Amino acid sequence: MRDPKHHMWAEACALLKQAEQLHRQFFEPSREGTRAARWEPPVDVFETERELWIIAALPGVAPEAVRVEIEGPTLVIAGARPLPCQGLSASIVRLEIPYGRFERRITLSSRLRLSERELRNGCLLLTFTKL
């Protein structure tokens, strides 16, 4: 009989390996000349009776490097985070923080109006007022 602990451990290790491979695939730095987004910032969404707040994690991104637009029913958060050693002759030893172009699209209700936008402590804070 097989020990279930060993089976579960092997399965967990395989899943971790697969997650790391996906992470490397989706969070690789963009190449010069490419316009496609390389990563999506994680977001939190909170709602009250009168407002909707969206918080996007964008550490290390300058406010002028972030574009916020509403295209029909879709909120688009886009921009780029450059490598900190860009232009220097540095070798990448480990790269876990995503760099390059990013874009996040979120479908919104048509009954919302963007009332505030602030980039603070590495997070983009968007406040929408319900109409």
Range of the domain at 118: 4-130
- Rounded to whole angstroms, how far apart are CA atoms 33 and 15? 34
Closest CA to 104 of 5, 44, 37, 50: 37
Three-state secondary structure call for residue 44:
strand
Residue 105 has pLDDT above 80, yes or no: yes
More confident position, 12 or 120: 120
CATH number where 55 lies: 2.60.40.790
Residues 69-86 have pLDDT tens digits of 999 999 999 999 988 876
Higher-pLDDT residue of 87 and 83 is 83
CA-based R_g, the chain, Å: 19
Q: How many domains does the chain have?
A: 1
Return contacts of 81-89, CB within 8 angstroms, 24+ apart: 83/29, 84/60
| pTM for the full predicted model | 0.72
